[in-house]
Amino acid sequence: MTARLKTSAWALPLLCASALALSGCVSLLPKAKPATLYRFGQAAPAASVQPTPVTGHVVVFRAMGSFQRESAGDRLLTITGDKAAYVAQTRWVAPAVTLFDEALLTAFDRDGGPVRLLARGEAGKAAYALRIDVRNFETHYDQGEKAAPLVVVRARVALTNNDDRTLVAEQYLESQVRAGDNRVGAIVAAYDQAVTQMMTKLVSWANASAKPIP
């Protein structure tokens, strides 16, 4: 009887110690810090200048294009020399390719030029197809890791006649905006400015290239 009591007396502290150790492991698990969400493409681009009054619309279909794979998602891509990395604990509110498409449609909707852009899936007969391939959408630390980086947006745009599939016009567009300093907020603001500049250039180019087809 005494032996049993001694065994139980030793077992109880061991069980308590095991329970405390287990609970300690649980409480010490690292907690992930929630990412801060940002967006771009909300600024209204300047309206393109038309040399003559617009007498009719030219309907253009948004064809399937491409977007830089490394930055198409919701993470901000940075380039420092030959190294690539993502900004920690920072995300776009939606994939960058989605926000870019929304900014594109908004830019054409706000513009007073002749081109009316049809989104993919939207009904309507279009005279031209517009393809946009975003080659670069990234942050360049070209002056060192601690200096204000340069946001670079580059794209190839092409306009094709929908009737005979001939290439009507092709252009490489680029916008570069240096952030005010090396903070996430300043970098996001630079993205917003770079995208706005890109949309202004793209809309102006489309209005000049998409001529009415008799």
Tell me the per-residue pLDDT of 126-151, one tens digit each, with 9 for 90 and over: 899 999 999 999 999 999 999 999 99
Give the total number of structural domains in the chain.
1
Instruction: Give yes or no for a contact between 67 and 100, defined as CB atoms under 8 angstroms apart.
Output: yes
Domain assignment present for 2:
no
Question: CB under 8 Å to 10, separation ≥6 — which residues?
Answer: none
pLDDT at position 213: 76
**Per-residue pLDDT at 165 exceeds 60:** yes
Cross-strand pairs, 60: 117, 128
Give the helix/strand (H/E) hosting 77.
Answer: strand 77-80
Domain assignment present for 60:
yes
DSSP 157-180: EEEEETTT--EEEEEEEEEEEE-S
Domain containing residue 148: CATH number: 3.40.50.10610
- Sort 20 into a burial class: Cβ within 10 Å, 0-12 / 13-18 / 19+: exposed
Average pLDDT over residues 149-166: 95
What's the mean per-residue pLDDT of the chain?
A: 82
pLDDT at position 43: 64
Provide the whole-model pTM.
0.78
**Per-residue pLDDT at 115 exceeds 80:** yes
Domain assignment present for 169:
yes
Domain assignment present for 166:
yes
Instruction: Give yes or no for a contact between 45 and 196, defined as CB atoms under 8 angstroms apart.
Output: yes
Q: Report residue 57's pLDDT band, with 50, 70 and 90 as the boundaries.
A: confident
Average pLDDT over residues 190-209: 96
Query: How many whole angstroms separate alpha carbon 161 and alpha carbon 168?
Result: 6
Nearest Cα neighbor of 107 from 212, 172, 202, 8 is 202
Domain assignment present for 23:
no
Domain that holds residue 150: 37-43+55-209
Nearest Cα neighbor of 205 from 41, 48, 43 is 48
Q: Are strands 115-118 and 58-62 parallel, antiparallel or unpaired?
A: parallel
pLDDT at position 32: 54
Kindly report the length of the chain: 214
Domain assignment present for 126:
yes
Task: Give per-residue pLDDT as tens, 68-86.
Answer: 999 999 999 999 999 999 9
Domain assignment present for 13:
no
The pLDDT > 90 percentage for the chain reads 66
Question: CB under 8 Å to 199, separation ≥6 — which residues?
Answer: 41, 45, 103, 104, 107
The pLDDT > 70 percentage for the chain reads 77
